[in-house]
Amino acid sequence: MTTRTSNMAAGFAFVAPALLIYLFYFMLPIPLSALYSLFKWDGISPMTNFRGLNNYIRLFGDSVFWISFFNNVKLVILSLVIQLPMGLLLGLLVSSRLRGLGAYKLLFFVPMTISAVAIGITWKFIYEPNFGLLNTLLIKIGLENLALGWLGEPGLAMGAVIATISWQYIPLYMVIFAAALSGIPRELTEAAYIDGASGLQTFLHVTLPLLRGSIRTASILSITGSLKYFALIFVMTEGGPNYASELMATYMYKQAFTTFRMGYGSAIAVIMFVLSFWVTILALRIGKQSEGLSGT
């Protein structure tokens, strides 16, 4: 009995420093957001203007919120569809045991070490309509009519931003897949070759099924990660033009810190929390299910 209580005390004593910081800055804000979201509040004057669920009712009728919501959905889907296959392709390339590809892998990873702010500003110069890298190249190779205002046109901005996000994050998936590929015994693929399977057949019937676990991991990562983008889009377009690349996170930021509608911003934050919680549970459940399948 004494050892049990002393274990309890010791356990909590070791965890306490981390726990206190974590509870204060990370956990406490979640119920606080929910509380703020019930008020009309500018963040400075006393919080007295209780509005009940009014912020939420307005939010569901706010067309900009819906634009930002669907942009987030678009981002999740396009991240999955672009980053994972490209990551897998690069993973296969750098795992092919040819000379020099180890150095390629190290260079491919460089964008992952650069800050989103620096990447955002750099890509603004790449997309710049007049002196930008992309348009000057298009004009050089005779595609003048494709030289567009990439970040300035509502129809193009979101796509341009997603291309930049992919440029940064594809290497992460490359490394995940390369690690998984290095765990596949060479005899397996060689045996398939000897049995007369083509490269593509070997890939589809031997390699791909063995990668199921890392594909699952990468998908979960890509889905939950897509809800976290802020800095890159904020720096490149600030959500514009005309809300074309607005995300829930950028809209929340603007409401709270540009127009100082803290209550309304908090309502957006609460919706984001509920969504990310739900997506995580869903992803974990799908993960479990496919684990069960691969087990049989």
Partner 1 sequence: MEPDFRRASLIRKGIIYLLATIWLIITIYPIIFLIQNSLKSNMDFFSGDPWDFPAVWMFENYTAVLEQDFFRYTANSFITVGVSLIILVLAGSLAAFGLSRIRFRFRNLLYLLFVGGLTIPIHITLIPVYNLTRIMGIYDSLGALIGPYVAFNLPVTVFILTSFMSELPRSLEEAAYMDGAKRLQVYWNIMLPISRPAVTAVIILDAVVLWNEFIFPLVLINSEKYRPLTLALWNFQGEFTAKIPLMMASLVLASLPLFLIYAIARERLIEGMVVGAVKG
Residue ranges in 44-83 that form contacts with partner 1 under rule CB under 8 A: none
Which region among 57-65, 77-85, 103-111, 153-161 touches partner 1 (by CB under 8 A)?
Answer: 103-111
Instruction: Tell the residue number behind the tokens 């190290």, with chain if given.
Output: 106
Whose CA is closest to 212, among 112, 286, 131?
A: 286
What is the distance between the alpha carbons of residues 291 and 249, in angstroms, rounded to a whole number?
Answer: 32
Instruction: By CB under 8 A, tell whether 17 contacts partner 1.
Output: yes
Burial of 240 (0-12, 13-18, 19+ CB in 10 A): middle
Binding residue (CB under 8 A) for partner 1 from 89, 188, 204, 208: 89
Instruction: By CB under 8 A, tell whether 15 contacts partner 1.
Output: yes
Whose CA is closest to 172, among 110, 102, 95?
A: 110
Name residues whose C-beta falls within 8 Å of residue 233's C-beta, 6 or more positions apart in sequence: 120, 161, 239, 245, 247, 250
CB distance 51 to 40 below 8 Å? yes
Nearer to partner 1, 38 or 90 (CB): 90
Instruction: By CB under 8 A, tell whether 117 contacts partner 1.
Output: yes
How far the first Cα of the chain sits from its last, in Å, is: 44
Residue 111 is classified by DSSP as G
Smallest gap, in angstroms, from Cβ of residue 102 to partner 1?
A: 9
Burial of 220 (0-12, 13-18, 19+ CB in 10 A): middle
Residue ranges in 134-173 that form contacts with partner 1 under rule CB under 8 A: 136-137, 140, 167, 171-172
Nearer to partner 1, 97 or 155 (CB): 97
Nearer to partner 1, 27 or 57 (CB): 27
Binding residue (CB under 8 A) for partner 1 from 19, 143, 191, 204: 19
Instruction: By CB under 8 A, tell whether 18 contacts partner 1.
Output: yes
Which region among 2-10, 74-82, 181-189, 200-208 touches partner 1 (by CB under 8 A)?
Answer: 2-10
Instruction: By CB under 8 A, tell whether 177 contacts partner 1.
Output: no
Q: Kindly write out the interface string for residues 196-235 of this chain, putting x where it contacts partner 1 by CB under 8 A and - elsewhere.
A: ---x-----------------x---x--xx-xx-xx---x
